[in-house]
Amino acid sequence: MRDDNAIVQQADKVHVQVAHADAIISAGLAALLGAHDDLRIAAPGERADVIILDHRGGLEHMRRAASAPHHDAQPRVLIVTQLEREWEVRTAMMAGVHGYLLQNADAGQLLVAVRSLSRGMRYLSPELSRCVADSFTRIGLTSRETDVLQLLAQGQCNKSIARELGIGVGTVKTHVKGLFDKLGATARTHAVVLATRRGLVGDSYHNQQH
């Protein structure tokens, strides 16, 4: 005889799919989460409420999800990673991920993150919250200023930047001045040093880490 009670309880559980690129981390996450009655580890291909990925996998998942039919229900995405620079966190949050947790977080943080996402909320590692909020509000670089900053970091002159971005040299100077004001920099090299220290420029797009 079918146990309707068990079926209801199963439906009430939060289905979590662990798809981190690091097999050891995946196994650890699944073991931690699977030990709790309100959570169920979903097999690949099964419906999931929350999916846990590494940084690169999370960004790729969001790109695929953006092109999927809107009527397809998408799981909430939690990135678990060692990447903690502002630039890396901002890139993920702006891509639309719902949660960002550092690998050195304790089991309690992991549970809060998964449960928060399952309820439609977002989650960010507490140690990152202040610096990222500060980055978004105080720095507030425009997309064009970010483009100019990346080229400045490569040592390009105003004329080269203008040619690369297809804008006038005067416009480049305006963006550079805006960068100086927002970063509190006094010179081009100083701006790059400050931006690098804050993780606003770097090799995260080419980084093979998870």
> What local confidence, expressed as pLDDT, does residue 2 receive?
47
pLDDT digits (tens, 9 = 90+) for 52-104: 999 999 999 998 888 777 656 789 999 999 998 877 887 888 788 999 999 99
> What local confidence, expressed as pLDDT, does residue 133 receive?
60
Rounded to the nearest angstrom, the gap between the alpha carbon of residue 177 and the centroid of all alpha carbons in its chain is 29
> What local confidence, expressed as pLDDT, does residue 206 receive?
34
Q: Which residues of 141-163 are buried (b: 16+ CB within 10 A; e: fewer)?
A: beeebbbbbbbbbeebebeebbe
Which parts of the chain have pLDDT scores under 50?
A: 1-8, 203-210
> What local confidence, expressed as pLDDT, does residue 130 receive?
66
pTM over 0.95: no
> What local confidence, expressed as pLDDT, does residue 146 receive?
83
Write the CB contacts of 34 (distance below 8 Å, at least 6 apart in sequence).
40, 41
> What local confidence, expressed as pLDDT, does residue 90 receive?
79
In the chain the domains, ranked by start, together with CATH numbers, are: 4-135 (3.40.50.2300), 140-197 (1.10.10.10)
